[in-house]
Structure 1
Amino acid sequence: MTMKALITGVTGMVGSHLADFLLEETDWEVHGMCRWRSPLDNVEHLLDRVNAGDRVFFHYADLNDYCSLDTVVDTVKPDYVFHLAAQSYPKTSFDSPIETLNTNILGTTRLLEVLRRKVPEAVIHVCASSEVFGRVSAEFLPIHEHVPFHPASPYAISKVGTDLVGRYYGDAYGMKVMTTRMFTHTGPRRGDVFAESTFAKQIAMIEAGLIPPVIKVGNLDSMRTWADVRDAVRAYYMLVTVKPVAGEFYNIGGTFSCTIRDMLDHLIARSPMKDQISVEIDPERLRPIDADLQVPDTTKFCKHTGWAPQYSFERTMGDLLEYWRGRIGAGHKQLSR
């Protein structure tokens, strides 16, 4: 019998890459959950298959609407669930804290409650975030799973709730729910509200003559460990297929660490206009408080599954920049942000 996977947030960067991975590496049916108003740019290459009913199917639902979740789960009856949907922009959460908390904490609870009642045997991945650790003292580096939470944004607080709700359903009901705290991951299709993606987009726009050769930036001093989104989705697949343990939680991330400033310098160095580009602090891009030391210890997950990253930092950043060059070159209009 064919396995069925349900991906919430299928139209996002991670969801779309996960759909690609499952279509290429498994014979599963891939069911994507999205809101009726979700942009389809990231899944445009899948739409012919969706229209033809060729192993990939889209379902409209919203984490804030229990009835729609009930309908989707009842229709699909998934064997595997990858819960990726969220209000996922940390900076936006300062302006919309209630929406962020409602969507990410209560939305996750609504989904898990439907799954508990409809398909309690499903294997479920709940995606939290490394942002739960927030402002970590250097003494706790690298960050292991039991480092205390110190969230630095409403988004991070919401992901603490997401993390705990997921673990609760695993512990209380014996559901095979596993929670991940994925550290910084990026690549093609990354939203332009994230630092590395807005930098790459601005470089592509500069090269196309659309904006002056000035890159607007926020805090450049934060340390990040970088992973590729394509490594991330492979990790998520292994999470649910390699000896899944109810209630477990894992840090996942890359192996290359550098500051936001170093990452920006790397992207600029890839541009033929590198000698003309300058950098300017934009106060609008600064968060009230920042998670500034995001370096993971991924020993637990790697030992359990055998996963290891395959994409280099250079490959990831190069592919991200080429993604934006392609979009700008194709004439897609962009906000200057």
Structure 2
Amino acid sequence: MAKKKVLVTGGAGFIGGNFVQYMVNKYPGYDIYNLDLLTYAGDLTKHRNIEKKDNYYFVKADIADRETILSLFEKEKFDYVVHFAAESHVDRSITEPEIFVRTNVLGTQVLLEAAKLVNVTKFVHVSTDEVYGELDFDPKTFFTEETPLQPNSPYSASKASSDLLVRAYHETYGLPINITRCSNNYGPYHFPEKLIPLTISRVLNNQKVPVYGDGRNIRDWLHVFDHCAAIDLVLHKGTNGEVYNVGGHNERTNLAVVKTIISTLGKSEDLIEFVQDRLGHDKRYAIDPTKLEQLGWKPTYTFETGIAQTIQWYQDNKEWWEQIITGEYQNYFQKQYNV
């Protein structure tokens, strides 16, 4: 019996990279293909522990390169596609929005077309709670799968656009799909420009930690390992055509997150430096994950256990994030693959 082939796009990124490792280790009977263009946030060094396994394959390609993607799908005939690949940093989307449209919208359409041509069993599109816009500070209000899409940044607008394309390919062509929308992830291998790893790395180096505005913006934090388990469940048991919200039930202000990290590392809050607020900075995100929980998922990490584990991981893996900060990680592909 032929092994199932799973294509994971963006598998050199943070969430996709953790998912690739999760799948390679959990499903030795699946062949896991990691497709990534290796832009600034794509890091292959995280996969040193699996790159010799016989069910792991790496493909360097641009998801918006139609000819290459169609050729790859025709050759490999993937059974499943789990689509993480995206430009995802809000600040970068404000200064360079066209890059986000190309990758997140056009790239998704190219993948959908390829998936349609080879009749994939399931296409799981990994999206974000940011497509819903923002909530007020009322703790009783949450995003549900029925919340209207009201994106406020070029990043979230590009993700909402890709969500609608995925839905359209299901409704028009019958492509089997699911869409997941997650809250803010954290955990191992998080690229050091995002809030939690940025704070950890800067505090460990006794550098100032920038906090936007007054730091009162609230996010719901989800450990990346819990997210991987959720996507695995949706891939195998999600009802065709449905959207599932993935939330951690761990709401914190940005300032509280920074203070927790500083306190855990035994440093002074004098390291906090308030900076001009981000343009269009959403007040609050919070997800109601009841629908996914009814499918059989529950988060296993509280924020307290998850952030402690994450801080410890960054202390134990200083060489990983230091080579990210210096840019040395970008040479790994050339060295590993002799190109």
Change (3 A) 1:20 1:130: same
Counterpart position of 1:122: 121
Provide the rounded CA distance (Å) in 1 between the counterparts of 2:219 and 2:80: 30
**Coordinate RMSD, CA, aligned:** 2.0
Give the deviation of 1:10 after TM superposition: 0.6
Provide the rounded CA distance (Å) in 2 between the counterparts of 1:259 and 1:232: 21
TM-score of the two chains, using structure 1 as the length reference: 0.89
Match of residue 285, structure 2, among 283, 294, 297: 294
Give the deviation of 1:331 after TM superposition: 8.6
Q: Secondary structure at the match of 1:332?
A: helix
Please say if residues 192 and 324 of structure 2, whose CA atoms lie closer than 8 Å, have aligned partners that are also in contact.
no
Please say if residues 46 and 189 of structure 2, whose CA atoms lie closer than 8 Å, have aligned partners that are also in contact.
yes
Match of residue 235, structure 2, among 234, 240, 243: 240
Provide the rounded CA distance (Å) in 2 between the counterparts of 1:42 and 1:217: 28
Give the deviation of 1:182 after TM superposition: 0.8
Match of residue 44, structure 1, among 45, 48, 69: 48
Question: Are residue 280 (structure 1) and residue 273 (structure 2) matched?
Answer: yes
Change (3 A) 1:74 1:315: farther
Provide the rounded CA distance (Å) in 1 between the counterparts of 2:319 and 2:126: 33
Counterpart position of 1:264: 258
Amino acid at match of 1:5: V
Please say if residues 5 and 81 of structure 1, whose CA atoms lie closer than 8 Å, have aligned partners that are also in contact.
yes
Amino acid at match of 1:233: C
Counterpart position of 1:106: 106
Give the deviation of 1:246 after TM superposition: 2.6
Change (3 A) 1:169 1:128: same
Match of residue 225, structure 1, among 215, 220, 229: 220
Change (3 A) 1:76 1:294: same
Please say if residues 191 and 197 of structure 1, whose CA atoms lie closer than 8 Å, have aligned partners that are also in contact.
yes
Match of residue 249, structure 1, among 243, 248, 251: 243
The number of residues matched between the two structures is 320
Q: Deviations over 1:219-268 (max 9, x none)?
A: 411111111000101100100111x3332112111012111111111111
Amino acid at match of 2:220: T
Please say if residues 84 and 125 of structure 2, whose CA atoms lie closer than 8 Å, have aligned partners that are also in contact.
yes
Please say if residues 184 and 220 of structure 2, whose CA atoms lie closer than 8 Å, have aligned partners that are also in contact.
yes
**Which segments of 5 or more consecutive residues in structure 2 lack a partner in the other structure?**
327-339
Q: Secondary structure at the match of 2:48?
A: helix
Q: Map residues 1-337 of structure 1 onto 2, 5 A cutoff.
A: 1=1, 2-26=3-27, 27-35=29-37, 38-49=42-53, 54-118=54-118, 120-137=119-136, 141-206=141-206, 211=207, 214-219=208-213, 220-242=215-237, 244-272=238-266, 274-275=267-268, 277-283=270-276, 286-303=277-294, 305-328=295-318, 332-333=322-323, 335=325
**Which segments of 5 or more consecutive residues in structure 1 lack a partner in the other structure?**
none
Please say if residues 132 and 151 of structure 1, whose CA atoms lie closer than 8 Å, have aligned partners that are also in contact.
yes
Provide the rounded CA distance (Å) in 2 between the counterparts of 1:177 and 1:145: 15
Q: Deviations over 1:204-223 (max 9, x none)?
A: 222xxxx4xx3222241111
Please say if residues 104 and 159 of structure 2, whose CA atoms lie closer than 8 Å, have aligned partners that are also in contact.
yes
Please say if residues 211 and 255 of structure 2, whose CA atoms lie closer than 8 Å, have aligned partners that are also in contact.
no
Please say if residues 10 and 84 of structure 2, whose CA atoms lie closer than 8 Å, have aligned partners that are also in contact.
yes
Please say if residues 204 and 324 of structure 1, whose CA atoms lie closer than 8 Å, have aligned partners that are also in contact.
no
Please say if residues 6 and 31 of structure 1, whose CA atoms lie closer than 8 Å, have aligned partners that are also in contact.
yes
Q: Secondary structure at the match of 2:64?
A: coil
Amino acid at match of 1:312: T
TM-score of the two chains, using structure 2 as the length reference: 0.88
Amino acid at match of 2:233: M
Q: Secondary structure at the match of 1:81?
A: strand
Change (3 A) 1:42 1:301: same
